[in-house]
Structure 1
Amino acid sequence: MSHSRPLPDPAIAEFRRVRLERRSVPGQTYLLTVATLYRRPVFADDEAARAVCRVHNAQWPWRDSAVLAWVLMPDCWQGLVTLGERDSLSTLMGRFKSLTSRAVEDRHRVNGWLWGRGFEDRALRPDEAPMAAARHLVGTPLRAGLVRRLGDYAYWNTAWLDPGGT
């Protein structure tokens, strides 16, 4: 007696294929979020936050993708990234998570893990201006009540805004 698995419904297979393609469109700008494991506030520790920023600010982890804006919150990293030709979103975020995990001290990891599984992504719609999305993104520490002025928060950057402003 054979216990073969049923073949997947063709509509489900097509949905998955289209979803994967949508998630990795070169030239598309995405809002990305990756949370620490168990949403621990690892980056409330300045040393851990600086370690991630040093890796983040290097160009080589991003290859030909462009980071337009980013913010490192106590329990997550959020970025606005235009995907390049050389990587899928999964590859890009996997490399970022791996490099930043190795950059922080062991005490910040749980069984070797800094980040939670996966990441969230949302493609900017054609009617969404990247600069407006960046402005909203870097305002996250203000909305979260971490600081009273954006210039008082050290862990963010954008291609358009001056960190000393607002």
Structure 2
Amino acid sequence: MPRCYTNSFLLKGRYCETGRVYLLTTVTDQRRPVFEDFQLGRLLVAQFKQAHDDGIVASKAWVVMPDHFHWLVELNNKSLGELMCRIKSRSSVSVNNASQSCSRLWQKGYHERALRREDDLKATARYLVQNPIRAGLTTRIGDYPLWDACWM
């Protein structure tokens, strides 16, 4: 299981704040396209849902790409480091169990961007979920199975 760090991956001078909306991104180890397999992608999505249901975040939008994910969340009661450690470790266990593997799933670290209060969350969510179109994976977002947004 990956080692957890609470805030060690935040850029220097940044901190996480409860109630703030963040755009989170992380990449699979060696950018392997693990989530081309829909069933493995759904295992990751189940971890997003569990974090939301447990009240850790209010999930606003997400998209799972073959080798990474983007997740727009409002942070409720854990640090970003704790949240990402939970998502990455639990998804690693479930994906490895399902694929009968013991390989590393995620690269170390993650990218976070705190949205400003005046940022348009819906526009950010629309941009996020259109990633499969920009990547040439589909021509219509409705045809791509691994995305959701609370406004759509």
TM interval, shorter chain, is 0.7 to 0.9
Structure 2 CA distance for partners of 1:144 and 1:153, relative to 1, 3 Å: same
Q: Are 1:23 and 2:15 an aligned pair?
A: yes
Preserved CA contact (<8 Å) 1:141 1:147: yes
Structure 2 CA distance for partners of 1:126 and 1:109, relative to 1, 3 Å: farther
Structure 2 CA distance for partners of 1:112 and 1:23, relative to 1, 3 Å: farther
Pick 1 or 2: higher relative contact order, CA cutoff 8 A, min separation 6.
2
Between 103-112 and 23-32, report the one with greater CA deviation: 103-112
Q: In the TM superposition, what is the alpha-carbon distance from 1:152 to its structure 2 partner?
A: 0.4
Q: Are 1:47 and 2:39 an aligned pair?
A: yes
Which 5+ residue runs of structure 2 have no aligned equivalent? Answer: 1-7
1:21-49 per-residue CA deviation (whole Å, 9 max, x = no partner) reads 73311111111001101111100112211
Q: Distance in 2 between matches of 1:21 and 1:83?
A: 19
Query: Which of the two has higher C-alpha Rg?
Result: 1
Give the one of 92, 96, 99 matched to 1:101: 92
Size of the aligned set, in residue pairs, is 144
Instruction: Report the TM-score when normalising by structure 1.
Output: 0.77
Identity of aligned residues (%): 39
Q: CA RMSD in A?
A: 2.4
Instruction: Report the TM-score when normalising by structure 2.
Output: 0.83
The answer for the alignment partner of 2:125 in structure 1 is 134
Which 5+ residue runs of structure 1 have no aligned equivalent? Answer: 1-15, 162-166
Q: Are 1:125 and 2:108 an aligned pair?
A: no
